[in-house]
Amino acid sequence: MSAAVFAALLVIAGLATVAWRAWRENQRLRGRLERSTQELQQLQQSFRRFAPGEVIEGLIQGAPPAPGKREVTVLFADLVNFTPLSEQLDPVVLVRVLNDYFDRMSRAVGEHRGHVSKFVGDGLLALFGALAPNPWQADDAVRAALAMRAALVVYNEELTAEGLPPLAVGIGIDRGTVIAGLIGTADLMEFTVIGRTVNLASRVQTATREHAVDILITDSVRSTLDGQIALRSLPPTAMKGVAAPVPIWSVEGRRRP
Amino acid sequence: MTTIRDVEWLPPLLELHRDPARLARIKLQAGSVDEPLRYFLASDWLPEAAAELNIALISRTYLDHELADLVGLSVSQENSCRYCFAATRTMLLMVGYPREHIIRLEQNLTIADLDERTQAAIAFARRLSRCDPTPSRADVEALRRVGIDGVAYRELVAAIGLWVFFNRTSTLGALPPEPMEALPDRWFMRALRPLISGFVDRTYRRRGKAVRLPEEMRVGACATAINALDGLPIAPSLRRAIDAMWASPGLPRRTRAFMCAAIARALGCPTSEAEVVALLAEEGVDKATVDGVLAHLDAPDLTESERALIRFARETVWYEPAPLQRRAGELRAHLTEREFVEAIGTASIANMMCRLDLALAVA
């Protein structure tokens, strides 16, 4: 074999190696691109649990939609006497108990077409009809509250078996028009709602202590329920920030399982 | 890392059946029989309807195939339907699109650097696939600006509606997506692709012909939407599918109507709702019961299975597969297989027809 042929073969082999490496690198990058693309798509889909689709798309395109008014049902839940309880328990146990509680309550909300908007200390704000119009939002919220009550009974049995004190919850529900939108700063922003309905749900939740019940609803919720939910009328109750006493009802349970 | 393949998807809720004689009849009528039809053989109308609607879906008269396939991919993605997403992706690969081009197509569904016409069609498809599907005049205007109007608009709407139908049947029955997802990467598919791409292209991407609806097909349930699609191959197929569904004794007519009413109310479709309410009146259902179902999904004189089916129907407007499939599984335990398949078919048809009504009304 002449030196020229040998040199040519060497050049060809070198080029082939370079080409093969480039092809392999290309395949690797293409694979990464494909995975990133699918991940992005799925992320977009996952975020629909926290904000309406058009809000997510607007954010991706750099043009979030303007805030708007929506008819929603607001459920506010808060643990009763949690501060003294938190002082008794070991911090590690306390956080575990609180996280388990939130997990079970959030599941009850999600199973009834609501979504948890935020956790505030030991409180939970859930919205029904905020992500998409829901004609049965008040009915869903009350059923979610009943599911939360049932889930707490089960959880308390587990806590008692562990030698831990049981939890008690107060839930307030109101329905009305709110302003929904992205609220916060450029660094920390969330899709949430503001307005009188949110405040009233919180106040009604506080009134559960006064009336020694666990679920209270306002007239705007009661008026949309059917006879399947057993209610008990309570005396109109004065609430902070509301001019006249607010008519409220205690939710006793479902007439039919 | 999360991809559409990681979307939670329950084991199949339906069994594959064998009925060679019936499948042969369907093949004779529709031209082809796909495997999924065998899951629905407990129904006396759904396999035939699905086969015919599938032919209507793949027969494009005014839209180009690429745009229509992209719409299918985006609607399936929007509904997290792993089965239909994988089927569309596989079909695109088999007809010979280069893999890198398909990756770009998938990528463009998110980052939107496709041409304006395709972008507008995909945005509209996503809008109409959602659980709050009512399109605005601005949505329709955006399509008109890129040349999708008139009969092309109606064909686009029909394609979206059909994908919604197939997404629902696949998701509610939890048809197994894994074989379809793995198919494009099988060695024999890679090796044989050049040979079979022409066959797949001819089989799954047909050129449809304008078809006028005969006078006798212009009346009946959902006439408003079906007549608005006159001229497209889908119109007579829809007429036959809907008539077959209402004629089937697999579920009582009033039960089906209650399911359709709940879906119409959930999707905010007054046309469909009014039509179903009129049908319930014809069936002798009193106004208080209808009002109860629409306002509370319940009424005193409903049967237990009606109560369960109405609540199930309402859930089917949402897109998350696993919770839907769990509800479907709970329902399955209380129904015969035939009733369960009928419920899937009814909910799928209602989801499709409400969206067609909403989109056609805006235009």
- How much of chain B is helix, strand and coil, in % rounded to 5? 70, 0, 30
How far CA B245 is from CA of A80, B211, B229, B267, B328, in Å, comes to: 53, 22, 19, 21, 20
Phi-psi sector, A62: left (phi>0), alpha (psi -120 to 50), beta? left
Task: Read off the pTM.
Answer: 0.85
DSSP track, B230-246: TBSTHHHHHHHHHHHHH
Task: Give whole-number Cα distances, B211 to B230, B236, B284, in Å.
Answer: 7, 8, 36
Average pLDDT over chain B, rounded to whole?
89
For range B197-210, the mean pLDDT: 73
Chain A environment of B294 (Cβ under 8 Å): 135
- Cβ contact, residue pair B297, A136, below 8 Å: yes
Residues in chain B closer than 8 A to A33 (CB atoms): 103, 107
Among candidate residues B170, B204, B212, B124, the one with its CA nearest the CA of residue B351: B170
Q: pLDDT value at position B218?
A: 93
The pLDDT value recorded for residue B209 is 78
**B103: nearest CB among A33, A111, A132:** A33
How much helix, strand and coil, in percent to the nearest 5, is found in chain A? 50, 25, 25
Q: Is the pLDDT of residue B1 over 50?
A: no
Predicted-complex ipTM score:
0.80
Question: Taking residues B64-72, what's their average pLDDT?
Answer: 85
Judge: A133–B265 Cβ closer than 8 Å, yes or no.
no
Show residues of chain A in contact with B9, CB under 8 Å: none
Check residue B106 and give its pLDDT.
Answer: 60
Q: Is the pLDDT of residue B159 over 90?
A: yes
Asked whether residue B266 carries a pLDDT value surpassing 80, the answer given is yes
Least Cα separation, residue A154 to chain B (angstroms): 21
Alpha-carbon span A59 to A42, nearest angstrom: 15
* Start-to-end C-alpha separation, chain A: 92
Rounded to the nearest angstrom, the minimum Cα separation between B1 and chain A is: 7
| Residue B46 CB coordination number (10 Å) | 26
Under an 8 A CB cutoff, do A41 and B77 touch? yes
Is residue B15 within 8 Å of residue B39, measured between CB atoms? Answer: yes
Encode chain A (257 residues) as per-residue pLDDT tens digits: 688 888 888 888 889 999 899 888 888 887 777 677 666 666 666 666 666 666 776 666 666 667 889 999 999 999 998 888 888 889 999 999 999 999 999 999 998 999 998 898 899 999 999 888 899 999 999 999 999 999 999 999 999 999 999 999 999 999 999 998 888 887 777 888 899 999 999 999 999 999 999 999 999 999 999 878 999 999 999 998 888 999 999 999 987 65
| % of chain B beyond a pLDDT of 70 | 93
Residue A167: closest CA among A78, A252, A79: A79
From residue A250, alpha-carbon distances to A65, A70, A128, A145, A224 in Å are 38, 26, 19, 12, 15
Is the confidence at residue B7, as pLDDT, over 70?
Answer: yes
Q: What is the pLDDT of residues B274-302, one digit of tens each?
A: 999 999 999 999 999 999 999 999 999 99
The pLDDT tens digits of the residues spanning A114-137 come to: 999 889 889 999 999 988 889 999
Q: Which residue has the higher pLDDT, B68 or B289?
A: B289
Candidates A37, A57, A113, partner chain B, best to mutate (most B CBs within 10 A):
A37
What pLDDT does A32 receive? 78
Residue B349: is its pLDDT beyond 50? yes
Q: How far is residue B238's CA from residue B217's CA, in Å, rounded to a whole number?
A: 10
In the structure encoding, which two tokens stand for residue A256, read together? 């039919």
A39/B1 CB distance under 8 A: yes
Q: How far apart are CA B363 and CA B358, in angstroms?
A: 9
B319 DSSP 8-state letter: -
Per-range mean pLDDT, top range of A62-71, B185-194, B327-336? B327-336
Contact predicate B122/B130, CB 8 Å:
no
Q: Which of A34, A132, A134 sits opposite B103 (nearest CB)?
A: A34
Contact call for residues B302 and B310 (beta carbons, < 8 A): yes
Residues of A in contact with B80 (CB under 8 A): 45
Instruction: Indicate which of A23, A28, A29, A34 best probes the interface with B, i.e. most B CBs within 10 Å of its own CB.
Output: A34
